[in-house]
Amino acid sequence: MKVVAILAFSLLVTLASAQGNYKKVCYFANWAYYRNGVGQYGTDKLDPFECTHLIYGFAVLDGTTYEMKVYDSWVDIDLGGYQTFTSLKIRNPSLKTLIALGGWNDSAFTTQYSELVSDPAKMANFVEKAVIFIRQYNFDGLDFDWEYPGDPGTPEDKENFITLLRLLRQAFEPYNLLLTMAPSCSPARAEVSYNIPALAEVVDFVNFMAYDIHGAWENTVDHHAPFYRRDFEQGMEGAVIVTEAVDYWLDHGMPPEKLILGLPSYGRSYRLADPSQTSLLSAAIGAGPQGPYTGQDGFISLYEMCTNQQNGWSVVTDPTGAMGPYSFSDISWVSWDDIDMTITKVKYAMSKGLGGIMFWELSLDDYLGVCNMGPRPFSNAITATLEGRPFDTSTPAPTARPSTTPTPPPITCTNNGEYYADPSDCRKYYQCVFGVINVYYCPTSLAFNSNIDQCDWPYNVPGCY
C-alpha cells in the first residue's frame, strides 16, 4: 500500500509542477479568514497540488523602520497562517510559496515605499531584514507589490525601484529565493512606474494584474477586464485593453515566458443611477452593495455571483467575445469573467508564449460548488486548459466527481459548507451546500481526511491504511 501511495504522490507532484509546463500562480488573501459563515477561508482550505506557486498576501512595510513586518500577527502567526501555508510543501515538494509585500491598502495611498527607495541606507537595511523574514518563515521568495512607483511619490521612484530589486536579487541568490512583482496592466502607468527591460533582467517573473481596469471609482458602468477593444473604444486614446497591454509589455522588452497573465475570480459592481438603464456605459453612482460573504463594496466573488444568477439576475454575454459577461438586478450591476472567458484568456496566453496564468484569488473561486460545475471551477478550468484538456462546464472536475449512486448519504446537513467523511468508504466524502448534500470521491489511492478537509495519504487517516 505504501508503494502505491508513493507512486500516486509522485504522479500528483509531476502534474502539479507541470500544469502543461506553465506556471499557475495563485494568491491567497489572509483577511478571508474573517469572512462570515461559509465565506470563511483560511490556509487550512488550501490544496498543495492546485497551483505551481502560491503567494500569501500580504506582509506590509513598517513606516518607521522601513522593514517588512507581519500584517496580522493573530492570523499569520498565532493561528499558524504562515506555517500552514509553507508546510504545504511537505505534501508537494515541487510547490513554491512566496510572501507578497504591499498591495493596494499598504502602498497605494502612502509615500513610504518612495521614501524607502530614495535612501540607500534604508534600502540596505530593508534587504538584509527581508532575507531574514523570508527565511525565518520558510517562504521561497518575495512578490513585491508596490502600487505604484511614482504615484504618490517622485519621478525617481521608477529607477529607484529597480535599484532595490537588484539589491534583493543579489541578496536572494545564495538562498535560491524567488523575486517576482505585480504591476498594473495600464501602459500609461507603465510609462510612469516601470522600467520594463530592467525588470525583465532582475525578476523571475511578473504577475500581470490584467483586471480592475474599470470599477466603481468611475461614473459609468464598464467591464473591469476587457479582453479586446470594443466598438465604442475604436480610436480612443488611453483605453486599457488586456491584449493590447500584453503587447505593450512584450514590445517593451519583457520576455513572454516571464509574463504571467493575471485573471480575476471575482466581479466589480456598481450602483446604477437609473435601474432602467443597464447597458454598458450607463450612469453609475458608486459601488454596488456588498456580497453577503465577502463584505466589500463594489466587489463580489464568483460563488456570490452564481447565487445572484440563481436568484434571477439578468445576464448579458458579449457576442463578439471582446469581454466577459455582465449582470444586473434593480440598482446593482456587476461584470466578471465567466469560465468560458477564462478559458479563452488562458488559450490566448498560451498562444502568445506567456509563462502561465496568475489569478486573484483562491478564496473567491467557487470552492463550495454553488455554480454547479464542481468545486473550484475557475481554478480547474485554468489547469485543464494549460494541460491541453477540455473543461466541461456542465459537470464537476474529474478530481472531485459526484457520485452517481442513488443511495442517500448517511449524513444530515447541519452546517453550510461543512465536509463529512463517509463512514464506510475512505475515498468518499460529502459537503452540505445550501441544504444540498454533494457527494465526492478522492483520487485513487487517496483518502478523505476530516482533520484537514482534504484528500490525503491513507496512512494519515485512521482506519484507512
pLDDT digits (tens, 9 = 90+) for 20-76: 689 999 999 999 999 988 899 999 999 999 999 999 999 999 999 999 999 999 999
What CATH class has 2-386?
alpha beta
Interatomic CA distance for residues 311 and 159, integer angstroms: 51
The 3-state DSSP composition of the chain as helix, strand, coil percent (nearest 5) reads 35, 20, 45
Q: List Cα–Cα distances, 197 to 208, 249, 358, in angstroms.
A: 15, 9, 21
Contact (CB, 8 A) for 81 and 42 = yes
Supply the pLDDT for residue 427. Answer: 78
Domain boundaries, the chain: 2-386, 402-460
**HSE value, Cβ hemisphere, 13 Å, CA-based, for 291:** 25
C-alpha cell at 321: 467575445
Interatomic CA distance for residues 23 and 218, integer angstroms: 33
Supply the pLDDT for residue 14. Answer: 43
pLDDT beneath 70: ranges in the chain: 1-18, 20, 394-411, 433-436, 438-441, 443-445, 465
Supply the pLDDT for residue 445. Answer: 60
Supply the pLDDT for residue 431. Answer: 78
Q: Domain 402-460: give its CATH code.
A: 2.170.140.10
Supply the pLDDT for residue 17. Answer: 43
Interatomic CA distance for residues 399 and 396, integer angstroms: 8
Q: Which of 67, 147, 304, 361 is catalytic?
A: 147
Alpha helices in 65-195 (DSSP H): 73, 81-91, 104-107, 112-117, 120-136, 157-172, 187-193
Interatomic CA distance for residues 314 and 326, integer angstroms: 8
Instruction: Judge whether 147 counts as a catalytic residue.
Output: yes
Extract the runs of DSSP E, i.e. beta strands, from 201-310.
205-208, 259-264, 266-272, 284-287, 299-301
In this chain, the answer to whether the domains covering 2-386 and 402-460 adopt an identical fold is no
Q: Which residue is associated with the grid cell 461584470?
A: 335
Interatomic CA distance for residues 91 and 291, integer angstroms: 34
Q: List Cα–Cα distances, 143 to 60, 101, 191, 424, in angstroms.
A: 12, 6, 21, 44
Contacts of 304 (CB under 8 A, 6+ apart): 291, 292, 293, 294
